[in-house]
Amino acid sequence: MPVALKELFDVPSEPVSRRGSIYRIAFVGALSGLLFGFDTAVINGALLSLRSHFVLSEVRVEIAASSLLYGCLIGAMAAGALSDKFGRRSMLRLSGLLFLVSAIFAAIPNTFTEFLVARFAGGFGIGIASTIAPLYLSEVSPREKRGSIVTLNQTAIVSGILLAYCTNWAFSFTGAAAWRWMFGSAAIPAIAFIVGLRFVPESPRWLFQNHRVPEAASALEAIGGETHRVESLHEFSAVIAHEHPAAGWMRRLRRPLLLAVAIAALQQLTGINTVLYYGSLLFVAQGNSGSDQRALAANALIGITNLVFTLVAFCIMDRIGRRKLLTFSAAVMLAALLLLAFAFHRAHPWFPIVVASTMLYVAAFATGLGPAAWVYIAEIFPTNIRGRAMSIATSVLWLSCILVSNSFLTLLKALGPSVTFVVFAAICGVAVAFFSRLPETRGRSLEEIELSWRA
């Protein structure tokens, strides 16, 4: 170890004015997930009144649902390089501001174009948050808690989805302007997130990578105390001393990059957002729900299922290997989709079976593929290129999400709901085969995982 760097290790860390436990720091970081979940899911219920207000055709309904996703894609593409340069916390703060702007202007547009622009801005914020939040949480977490802490972000996402469903149901009784209240209510958690970021440290790994060792030491002590600070600084130094320059990293890290891209794509291509974005329309048009309010109530029940089983994932993520969890999750999703396809094959689907099979599908996703995909992708890249690598994987995720969201209503019309869900079941079968061959990352530090790719 260079003498100058060793001296920095031995110097007491700068005082931390606002010390807090790792879970308090993780809670603030995961608030971005709450906004992510709320903004993506609020369109589900809002479409019912929004469609009437702007007199939308089926194609324009798909545009309304996917306008956010194009912003997500651009935000994800930009987030990695910007976070490697300016820091993880700075980019999270930018995402919070975009969430706030989107919430306000999506609630007050005079034209459909103004609405699309506001949603695009919110999507840009989601793209940043979806890339940086799991990255940030993985970098501040001790190895033995990393899975559960990164899963906290997914817990926040599904909490935001449930909050959106409940908000949609509550405002559905307010009449034709219900959609304005649905979108505008996101301003409250956006403000809370912006304020909360003032009380969390920057990623210590990013600080160390950028030669700000005293600040990294201070952040590490705030997170885990003196022992954690000393051990982590020595581990960072040992890995960075052998780290290749960032140039040419895609060629050197081809395997983890391909794994991350495949996992990101499969998380979306298995069809989860057909339920999260179009659930209310699906239940009304195809599921024999009987009323809009009954469909929105079913959405809320599915949101509760999503949250409950994400909490299950939070409890087991660091006890069960990522590979086992991903494989089991995809297998149960496959079974649930086949049951859903069978339910829709009937001339008059029985609404309780449609809801029950959808709940099983969402429960399986929430327990494994939903959180474990983010955990795995956030773990497998070196610090100096983690932001850019996460951007590539997250961009593929949003491209896949756009593909599913823009084609779902068209597939329903062309193939019918039964065959459409059989297609998604087949993709789940591919996912089962792929996930069963993944290398395991549970219980290993980020530095150990990085070194394993060089073996």
Whether residue 334 contacts residue 425, with contact meaning beta carbons closer than 8 Å, is answered with yes
- Residue with the larger pLDDT of the pair 439 and 250: 439
User: Crossing angle of helices 322-345/351-364, nearest 10°?
Assistant: 170
How far, in Å, CA of 333 to CA of 324, rounded?
A: 14
State the DSSP string of 157-205.
Answer: HHHHHHHHHHHHHHHGGG-TTHHHHHHHTTHHHHHHHHHHGGGSPPPHH
Average pLDDT rounded to a whole number, residues 197-223: 87
pTM strictly above 0.95 = no
Domain-embedded: residue 11: no
Q: For the domain that residue 347 is a member of, what is the CATH number?
A: 1.20.1250.20
Domain-embedded: residue 403: yes
Give the containing element (helix H, strand E) for 43. helix 22-54
**Whether residue 396 has pLDDT greater than 90:** yes
Position 7 scores a pLDDT of 40
Position 251 scores a pLDDT of 66
**Whether residue 297 has pLDDT greater than 90:** no
The mean-pLDDT minimum among 203-217, 242-256, 377-391 falls in 242-256
Identity of the highest mean pLDDT range in 48-62, 93-107, 228-242, 377-391: 93-107
Average pLDDT rounded to a whole number, residues 352-374: 92
Domain-embedded: residue 347: yes
pLDDT band at 241; cut points 50, 70, 90: low
The gap from C-alpha 43 to its chain's centroid, in whole angstroms, comes to 17
Position 6 scores a pLDDT of 44
Average pLDDT rounded to a whole number, residues 303-329: 90
**Whether residue 21 has pLDDT greater than 80:** no
* Counted domains in the chain: 1
Match 């709940």 to its residue by tokens: 359
Name the DSSP letter for residue 108: S
Whether residue 352 contacts residue 302, with contact meaning beta carbons closer than 8 Å, is answered with no
Whether residue 332 contacts residue 364, with contact meaning beta carbons closer than 8 Å, is answered with yes
Tally Cβ neighbours within 10 Å of residue 418. Answer: 16
Domain-embedded: residue 254: yes
Domain-embedded: residue 232: no
Domain-embedded: residue 119: yes
The mean-pLDDT minimum among 5-19, 80-94, 299-313, 369-383 falls in 5-19
Domain-embedded: residue 279: yes
pLDDT band at 290; cut points 50, 70, 90: low
For 201-212, write each residue's pLDDT tens digit: 888 989 988 889
pLDDT band at 289; cut points 50, 70, 90: low
Position 389 scores a pLDDT of 87
**Whether residue 359 has pLDDT greater than 60:** yes
The mean-pLDDT minimum among 52-61, 91-100, 185-194 falls in 52-61
Average pLDDT rounded to a whole number, residues 123-135: 91
User: Crossing angle of helices 146-171/112-140, nearest 10°?
Assistant: 150
Q: Which two tokens stand for residue 58?
A: 């089926």
Domain-embedded: residue 6: no
**Alpha-carbon distance values, 447 to 56, 88, 229, 386, 452 (Å):** 51, 19, 15, 12, 9
Average pLDDT rounded to a whole number, residues 121-142: 90
**Whether residue 246 has pLDDT greater than 80:** no
Position 15 scores a pLDDT of 38
User: Crossing angle of helices 22-54/292-316, nearest 10°?
Assistant: 160
The domain in which residue 91 lies consists of 21-200+242-452
pLDDT band at 188; cut points 50, 70, 90: very high
Q: What is the mean pLDDT of the chain?
A: 84
Percent of the chain with pLDDT over 90: 38
Helix residue ranges, H only, 270-320? 272-285, 292-316
**Whether residue 433 has pLDDT greater than 70:** yes
**Residue 396, amino acid:** V
The gap from C-alpha 408 to its chain's centroid, in whole angstroms, comes to 21
**Whether residue 162 has pLDDT greater than 90:** no
Position 10 scores a pLDDT of 41
Position 287 scores a pLDDT of 58
How far, in Å, CA of 201 to CA of 317, rounded?
A: 25
Average pLDDT rounded to a whole number, residues 137-153: 82
Is residue 161 left, alpha or beta, with left meaning phi > 0 and alpha meaning psi from -120 to 50?
Answer: alpha
Percent of the chain with pLDDT over 70: 90
